[in-house]
Amino acid sequence: MTSQEDRIAIASDLPEFEDRDKQETKFTTCYMCACRCGIKVTVEDNKVRYIQGNPNHPINKGVLCAKGNSGIMKQYSPAKLSSPLLRKPGTERGAGEFEEISWERALGILEKRLKRIRETDPKKLAYFTGRDQMQALTGMWASQFGTINWAAHGGFCSVNMAAGGLYTMGHAFWEFGDPDWENTKYFMMWGVAEDHNSNPLKLGLKRLKERGAKFVSVNPVRTGYQAIADEWISIRPGTDGIFALSMIHVLLKNKLVDDEFLIRYTNAPQLVVNTPGVKGDGLFYRGDSEHPQVWDLQKEAYVDANRADVTPALFGELTAPDGTPLRTAMSILIEKYLDDEYSPEVAAKECGVSAADIERIALEMAHVAFKETITLDVEWTDWAGRKQDKFIGRPVSMHAMRGISAHSNGFQTCRAIHLLQILLGTIDCPGGHLAKPPFPKHVPPGIKPAKTNIPNTPLKSPPLGFPTCPEDLVIDDDGKPLRIDKAYSWDAPISCHGMMHMVISNAVKGDPYKIDTLMLFMANMAWNSSMNTAQTLEMLCAKEDDGEYKIPFIVCSDAFNSEMVAYSDLVLPDTTYLERYDTISMLDRPISEPHAACDSVRIPVIKPDRDVMSWQEVMVEMAGRLEFPAFMKGDGERKYDDYKDFIINFEKEPGIGFLAGYRGKDGTKSLRGEPNPRQWEAYEENEGFFEYELAENQRYMRHANKDYLELAKEAGWVGSTDQILIEIYSEKLQTFRLAGQGLYDGPMPTEEHHKERLVKYFDPLPIYYMPLEEQRIDRDEYPFHAVNQRPMFMYHSWDSQNAWLRQIMNQNYLFMNRLAGEKLGIEDLSWAWVESHNGKIRVQVKLMEGTNEHTVWTWNAIAKRGGAWGLADDANEASDAFLMNHLISELLPAKGDKMDKITNSDPVTGQAAWYDLRVKITPAKEGETGAWPQFAPLKAQPNAKKSPDMLSYSTHKNVNIVRSWADTLFRGDK
């Protein structure tokens, strides 16, 4: 104890401020955003006194962000729904006229409807969820129901990020991997708004600062993290790919690559067939083997690439014994990126980063990777069983997020960033980019998307998976999409998170077919979660000639009176995060840290005061009512009493369940073990989380680390202990490209535009291309990029409106570069019209320095409908804030060709291209003020508590410190 602490500990003459005997402390997991921090909640009389970060928690280590600290205002929101709601007969969708009904009636209505769908045509149930963190459960539920029409919100969030990494190295950023904050010396952050993830990123940036590491930020906007970067690269949106590839050009020109890493851990030396225009071109040469071949320099022979005892040629052009011309993947790569189109001079014109900066940053990273190498003297065993005496670290790391992924070229840009990391040898090494268990997985994970639609029959595989060739597409014999969102069709072949942003639009058009019921959880599709919001509202209310809604029945589960509630027919009120049991499961994307496998739970800390049921509980109950095989015993009895019982006893395979901790009958087994009847209690006793620390020799090079891979197989994270080979060259993408060229033995597209897209965008090596919206509009007419981000204090806090946080921001502005604004005669705080190919909006402008001059941007989802969320009709969010969504179409800009009907998404993954938007800006006329368009206020939920005019929250009578009269009199004004 320091002398200072000594002195502070001296009790002062203070009153007792609160009765701690009346308070309890409980641990659970935050849900104010997707970051999943551990929280310690002090409760007094069933009211929340204080929510703080749990100091022992692996994710947040005691800290908590602005959202987490505002949980009280979520819990006490006047917009909380208090009973199931049924749209009143004779009233219209959107009118918000509901009758309160009992849970028994609500569940009965749902059961009857779902039973009929399941018995007849299961795909007529479209079940889509927001960022619910329970995809392991909802996905399994959909599989058991038998509908392929299930996905969570990944398709409109960051599937490019996930897919880009999983198809390259078996892990990616955020939930899949983190920079090695403790050892990295050079950190480059790409397109990270204030988003994924919250507290770990902030803690990490502080560690970099403490250690004097360099922090470079690539972002068109300088807010938040960018403000503390050592270097801010003001890039033009959507051009990060050419920036990354040009840095690769610089590295290759100077022969600055980690060739040992490439030979041992990647497919760079594998031989590729070089027969353009002929079947088999671009695929790996296998000879008579089933495995790709390399040329062994010592044996001077073709050998299986996966053997340990080989010395492969990294470069070279060869001719196979059968006369087939071959090149190594690395040779193709070098030839491609040494081309002038990737030179810094050419790239600079496209991305706006100067040629000198491109070259300098590439060479700085090379210096740190190769001249400031770190070694950890830890013995480990490689995949082939060979002892190694150290881990070699190349301390350059990166993190990238939505600014990269929310473009229609985002998949290839993510691959480009990973390729840069791989060439520098910075993958899963000390100081580099580290995977987080259960990642890395083999490339890609071995799950294929389901295609079947059989009444009363579960799917054979999950609705979402990872196609590796055209045979895996979810299309019919004529090549038409089978899924309502057209995921896994020729429009977006590897859309492995689904395409939630297309569901309403497709269902209303009946393209590819009509559905019966749309079931939504935690997704505000009637407002900020949809592209094209104004027209989406019309779609939700669109009717057939016979007066029936085009989407006949809409069910939503929500804890609050959101905009979506008004557009639903049946509303099931959810609990808040402080009122529910929940799991953040190892079967999903858990809370692991690079050196520890972790998962966690939510445990109620507050008793609900309303007639509500958590969606988890509804899922399990409905699974029992509908008699899903996995939820029934052989004798027709239900297998699980409730959600808690299901979590304890469900086994995906023997010993593997939703929670990896405290397994086995006595709770002593980790990762795998029979069900523990006291598992919930064990989590509760351990502050709501489970942490399994990896041994020192399992912490790095896990794609090729025997001890790690054996553990991963035992834990069910991977299917085999084979090396996870990093794929710089993707043969999987090439199969799709061959299909586009008409050179594939298997399904091939018939439409010209599909062929063209496959040939152009399914390059087996990362490429840059202009985002699709930009290709189809007049760039001079729409001169600005328009992007958006959520502020740090609201990021991912999607399911509430918060009385404290809205005091920090309740109106968004259109921010633009001061010089760009002045050129157009647009003054600070003036109103302006912003127009895209899809429509126009009126907004208030703020001029700033820290914005790329070709870019305008705003804070997203600040705007709300009046009346929703307990807000007054004239709340600032309704009158002055605006949604950029109105400008963004879910379809590509119309040009009168076949592409008009194609989704506004990445052509590879179906990732919603939110940030491809281009706009023009004109000053508003005098007197034109206020946000436009405006929407009529929504109704409060039935029996809503009136939102207070004044709020004075306290859990007890506040105890004042009284200044003594003596002090007042004798010390005077001191």
Q: Which of residues 846-865 bind other proteins (CB under 8 A)?
A: 848-850
Distances (CA, A) of 35 to 74, 541, 564, 687: 17, 35, 24, 17
With respect to other proteins, which residue has the nearer C-beta, 656 or 787? 787
Report the Cα 297 to chain-centroid distance in Å: 43
- Considering only residues 163, 314, 484, 917, which one is a binding residue for other proteins as defined by CB under 8 A? 314
Q: Is 572 in the site for other proteins (CB under 8 A)?
A: no
Distances (CA, A) of 570 to 88, 99, 337, 549: 10, 10, 55, 14
Rounded to the nearest whole angstrom, what is the least distance from the CB of residue 590 to other proteins in the complex? 21
Q: Which stretch in 235-243, 251-259, 474-482, 693-701 sits in contact with other proteins by CB under 8 A? A: 251-259
- Count how many Cα atoms sit within 13 Å of the Cα of residue 481 in the half-sphere of its side chain: 30
Q: Is 248 in the site for other proteins (CB under 8 A)?
A: no
- Considering only residues 387, 633, 925, 963, which one is a binding residue for other proteins as defined by CB under 8 A? 963
Both tokens assigned to 964: 């003594």
With respect to other proteins, which residue has the nearer C-beta, 41 or 499? 41
- Considering only residues 22, 116, 206, 349, which one is a binding residue for other proteins as defined by CB under 8 A? 206
Interacting residues with other proteins between 492 and 521 (CB under 8 A): none
Q: Which stretch in 542-550, 576-584, 660-668, 965-973 sits in contact with other proteins by CB under 8 A? A: 965-973
Contacts with other proteins by CB under 8 A: the residue count is 133
Q: Which stretch in 3-11, 284-292, 635-643, 824-832 sits in contact with other proteins by CB under 8 A? A: 3-11
**Is there a contact between 307 and 723 (Cβ–Cβ < 8 Å)?**
no
With respect to other proteins, which residue has the nearer C-beta, 363 or 541? 363
With respect to other proteins, which residue has the nearer C-beta, 925 or 974? 974
| Strand bridging mode 214-218 / 186-190 | parallel
With respect to other proteins, which residue has the nearer C-beta, 548 or 874? 874
CA angle 850, 852, 853 (to 5 degrees): 110
With respect to other proteins, which residue has the nearer C-beta, 163 or 862? 862
CA angle 194, 591, 213 (to 5 degrees): 55
The three-state secondary structure class of 279 is: coil
Interacting residues with other proteins between 208 and 247 (CB under 8 A): 209, 212-214, 222-228, 230-231
With respect to other proteins, which residue has the nearer C-beta, 253 or 713? 253
Q: Is 954 in the site for other proteins (CB under 8 A)?
A: yes
Residue with tokens 């935050």: 30
Closest CA to 114 of 632, 625, 457, 642: 625
With respect to other proteins, which residue has the nearer C-beta, 10 or 546? 10
Rounded to the nearest whole angstrom, what is the least distance from the CB of residue 15 to other proteins in the complex? 8
What are the strands, taking DSSP E only, across 705-854?
A: 784-789, 814-817, 831-836, 839-848
Interacting residues with other proteins between 279 and 308 (CB under 8 A): 297-298, 307-308
- Considering only residues 246, 810, 889, 903, which one is a binding residue for other proteins as defined by CB under 8 A? 810
With respect to other proteins, which residue has the nearer C-beta, 110 or 268? 268
Rounded to the nearest whole angstrom, what is the least distance from the CB of residue 227 to other proteins in the complex? 4
Q: Could you give the CA distance from residue 835 to residue 923 in angstroms, rounded to a whole number?
A: 11
With respect to other proteins, which residue has the nearer C-beta, 675 or 850? 850
Interacting residues with other proteins between 777 and 806 (CB under 8 A): 792-793, 801, 803-806
Closest CA to 219 of 209, 229, 207: 229
Rounded to the nearest whole angstrom, what is the least distance from the CB of residue 269 to other proteins in the complex? 8
Interacting residues with other proteins between 93 and 112 (CB under 8 A): none
Other CB atoms within a 10 A radius of the CB of residue 665 amount to 12
Closest CA to 397 of 215, 241, 257, 595: 215
Interacting residues with other proteins between 812 and 851 (CB under 8 A): 817-819, 848-850
Distances (CA, A) of 773 to 297, 351, 506, 784: 48, 17, 20, 12
Rounded to the nearest whole angstrom, what is the least distance from the CB of residue 3 to other proteins in the complex? 6
Q: Could you give the CA distance from residue 342 to residue 249 in angstroms, rounded to a whole number?
A: 6
Interacting residues with other proteins between 14 and 43 (CB under 8 A): 14, 17-18, 20
Rounded to the nearest whole angstrom, what is the least distance from the CB of residue 397 to other proteins in the complex? 14
Rounded to the nearest whole angstrom, what is the least distance from the CB of residue 943 to other proteins in the complex? 17
Q: Which stretch in 2-10, 579-587, 639-647, 822-830 sits in contact with other proteins by CB under 8 A? A: 2-10
- Considering only residues 38, 58, 68, 130, which one is a binding residue for other proteins as defined by CB under 8 A? 68
- Considering only residues 452, 721, 775, 947, which one is a binding residue for other proteins as defined by CB under 8 A? 947
Rounded to the nearest whole angstrom, what is the least distance from the CB of residue 327 to other proteins in the complex? 9
Q: Which stretch in 68-76, 517-525, 536-544, 762-770 sits in contact with other proteins by CB under 8 A? A: 68-76
Q: Which residues contact 584 (CB under 8 A, 6 or more apart)?
A: 29, 36, 133, 590, 591, 599, 600, 601, 602
- Considering only residues 38, 53, 155, 410, which one is a binding residue for other proteins as defined by CB under 8 A? 53
Rounded to the nearest whole angstrom, what is the least distance from the CB of residue 105 to other proteins in the complex? 31
Interacting residues with other proteins between 879 and 908 (CB under 8 A): 879
Rounded to the nearest whole angstrom, what is the least distance from the CB of residue 926 to other proteins in the complex? 24
Cis peptide before 933 (omega within 30 of 0): yes
Interacting residues with other proteins between 165 and 204 (CB under 8 A): 185-186, 194, 198-199, 202-203
Q: Could you give the CA distance from residue 489 to residue 482 in angstroms, rounded to a whole number?
A: 8
Q: Which stretch in 99-107, 118-126, 205-213, 656-664 sits in contact with other proteins by CB under 8 A? A: 205-213
Interacting residues with other proteins between 326 and 365 (CB under 8 A): 331, 334-335, 338, 360, 363-364
| Strand bridging mode 689-693 / 596-602 | antiparallel
Both tokens assigned to 664: 């086995």
HEC per residue, 464-479: CCCCCCHHHCCECCCC
**Is there a contact between 912 and 553 (Cβ–Cβ < 8 Å)?**
no
Residue 570 — φ and ψ, nearest 5°? -130, 125
Residue 26 DSSP symbol: E
Query: How many residues would you count in the chain?
Result: 974
- Considering only residues 120, 289, 311, 934, which one is a binding residue for other proteins as defined by CB under 8 A? 311
Interacting residues with other proteins between 70 and 89 (CB under 8 A): 70, 72, 78
**Is there a contact between 869 and 834 (Cβ–Cβ < 8 Å)?**
no
**Is there a contact between 921 and 856 (Cβ–Cβ < 8 Å)?**
yes
With respect to other proteins, which residue has the nearer C-beta, 354 or 457? 354
Residue 896 — φ and ψ, nearest 5°? 75, 20
Sign of the alpha-carbon dihedral angle for 521, 449, 737, 348:
positive
